[in-house]
Structure formats: C-alpha cells, structure tokens
C-alpha cells in the first residue's frame, strides 16, 4: 500500500515533485502519508509542516513513528539531488526517492547521515 500511495502521488504531481512522510518502525515502513508540496520550484519539495505536526500527534502512543520522507524525481534518477543534500536536516531519516520514466516508477531508499546519504534496504510491509 505504501508503494501504491507513493507512485500514485508521484504521477499526480507531475510535472512537479510529490512529497510525504513514511510511517513505521525503524527500517520497516507500514504506510506513506502524502503531504502538499509547498515549493514553487518544480525541482524541489517543501513538505507542509502542518501535516508533519498533526501526523506526529496522531502517532503518539501508537508505537509507530515518522521514520522518513518520500518524494519524486519526475525526470531524474532515484538518487539524492544537490537540493536534497542541502535540505536533509533530519539525521537518521529514511529518504525514499521515486523516479518516473516511460517504463514506470523506480524507488530507492537512502538514509540521511551527517556525512550524506547512504543507500539502504527498505522493507514495506504491504
Ligand atoms: Zn530530490
């Protein structure tokens, strides 16, 4: 389901990037929550902080937490861009990047470390 949410959001946002939050536990994603992309620049994303805060509140006491962020690269590769490096403020977060091309969607996960992005294996529970 998380994968479907992300791919649907990525297609709908074209030609802009989509974005949202990943909910789960450590390296396991249970669901993805789309958020409005407030960025004016089509090559960037700026997640609506209101969605972040209300999701954080909803998850309190559930055992689940926000473990990362997803966004799309409409005409690029599923690898972090220079803009992503500049904006990766949450160390330890998972960054899931979905690239769209004629063949479909390709998603890759990265972990934001203080030194940069490290590729990681990710498990989606559905
Ligand atoms: Zn990006």
Distance from Cα 62 to the centre of ligand 1, integer Å: 30
Arithmetic mean of pLDDT, 17-41: 93
Confidence at residue 104, expressed as pLDDT on a 0 to 100 scale: 82
Confidence at residue 42, expressed as pLDDT on a 0 to 100 scale: 83
Our CA angle for 97, 8, 10, nearest 5°, is: 40
Distance from Cα 85 to the centre of ligand 1, integer Å: 8
Distance from Cα 67 to the centre of ligand 1, integer Å: 17
Per-residue pLDDT tens over the stretch 101-111: 777 889 999 99
pTM reported for the whole predicted model: 0.92
DSSP 17: P
Mean pLDDT for the chain overall: 90
Tokens 């994968």 correspond to 3
Per-residue pLDDT tens over the stretch 43-86: 899 999 999 999 999 999 999 999 999 999 998 899 999 889 88
Distance from Cα 61 to the centre of ligand 1, integer Å: 31
Domain spans of the chain, in order of start: 2-124
Confidence at residue 126, expressed as pLDDT on a 0 to 100 scale: 52
Cα distance between residue 83 and residue 90, in whole Å:
14
pLDDT above 90: percentage of residues in the chain: 65
Task: Name the residue with higher pLDDT: 41 or 57.
Answer: 57
Confidence at residue 75, expressed as pLDDT on a 0 to 100 scale: 85
Specify the CATH class of 2-124 in words: alpha beta
């Amino acid at each position: 389901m998380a994968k479907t949410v992300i791919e649907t959001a990525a297609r709908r946002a074209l030609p802009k990037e989509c974005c949202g939050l990943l909910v789960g536990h450590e390296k396991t994603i249970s669901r993805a929550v789309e958020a409005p992309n407030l960025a004016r620049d089509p090559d960037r994303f700026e997640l609506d902080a209101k969605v972040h805060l209300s999701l954080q509140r909803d998850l309190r006491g559930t055992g689940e937490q926000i473990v990362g962020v997803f966004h799309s690269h409409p005409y690029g590769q599923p690898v972090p861009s220079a803009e992503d490096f500049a904006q990766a403020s949450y160390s330890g977060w998972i960054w899931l990047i979905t690239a769209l091309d004629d063949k479909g969607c390709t998603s890759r996960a990265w972990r934001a470390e203080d030194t940069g992005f490290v590729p990681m294996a990710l498990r989606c529970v559905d």
